[in-house]
Amino acid sequence: MKPIYEPRGKAKEYGDFALNIYTGCPHRCFYCFAPNVLRRDREEFHSHVEPRPGIVKETSNQLARENITGKLIHLCFTCDPYPTGYDTSTTREIIQLLKQFGNHVQILTKGDGRRDFDLLDDGDWYGITMDCGNNYTAPVAKYGCLQLAEAKARGIKTWVSFEPVLDEKAFRFLLGEVSGLADKVKIGKLNYYPSSINWGDFGREAEALCKRLGIDYYIKDSLRAEMRK
């Protein structure tokens, strides 16, 4: 087992290295690609969440065996490092291990990772997903912004993944909310599902808005391709 791996395809746009800690994720995003990637039953994936067997020991072995150091490691692609309602002490152990070997982490969550902020420093990234969907109410957005603000106050780098964007109006509102809190945003389209959004127009507008607000941004390749049409 090699828990630390190099993502391929669209996933590579998020990081050169990644590690997946849990077997599933309770957040039930309708667009979640992970059950397909893992060839798992969707309901089972969302309802049965536990640390992957031996994940801490195997990570420790791989770090030592391959002398992995100085890397930025994304947590996680096929799960959330902070699955809401579950014990996340394994995430803490993994972060400690990666950093002991001189690596940094790039966290992306829809949960709450504040319990581990004491482990992070200015070489680490703490990110939240804002998909701008119907469940993205003002209180939820505020909760996400609070996490970003706390991370930033501690000197941790912050980022927001606006992928997939589900609602243009909500996106514009949320981008304004995180302006000044996020050191970087990544913006991507909804893939594999129908959407009423004109992606070319949306991407050009989003880019102009980021420039106007002075936000460092990255447009995902599939959205960039629509903008060129």
CB of 199 to ligand SF4, least distance (A): 19
CB of 83 to ligand SF4, least distance (A): 8
Q: How far apart are CA 224 and CA 6, in angstroms?
A: 23
Is 71 within 8 Å of 19 (Cβ atoms)?
no
Query: Which tokens in the block code for residue 48?
Result: 């049965």
Q: How far apart are CA 66 and CA 9, in angstroms?
A: 24
Closest to ligand SF4 by CB, 20 or 60: 20
Q: What is the rounded end-to-end Cα distance, in angstroms, of the chain?
A: 42
Closest to ligand SF4 by CB, 76 or 151: 76
Closest to ligand SF4 by CB, 75 or 181: 75
Q: How many CA atoms lie within 13 A of 14 on its CB side?
A: 31
CB of 27 to ligand SF4, least distance (A): 4
Q: How far apart are CA 54 and CA 46, in angstroms?
A: 21
Burial class of residue 56, CB neighbours in 10 A (0-12, 13-18, 19+): middle
Per-residue CA distances from 134 to 9, 175, 190, 198 (Å): 28, 16, 14, 19
Radius of gyration of the chain (CA): 17
Which residues form the interface with ligand SF4 (CB under 6 A)? Answer: 25, 27-29, 32, 34, 79-80, 110
CB of 122 to ligand SF4, least distance (A): 26
CB of 38 to ligand SF4, least distance (A): 10
Question: Which residues does residue 45 pair with via DSSP β-bridges, in sequence order?
Answer: none
CB of 29 to ligand SF4, least distance (A): 3
Closest to ligand SF4 by CB, 108 or 210: 108
Closest to ligand SF4 by CB, 79 or 145: 79
Closest to ligand SF4 by CB, 116 or 131: 131
Query: Which tokens in the block code for residue 70?
Result: 């100085």
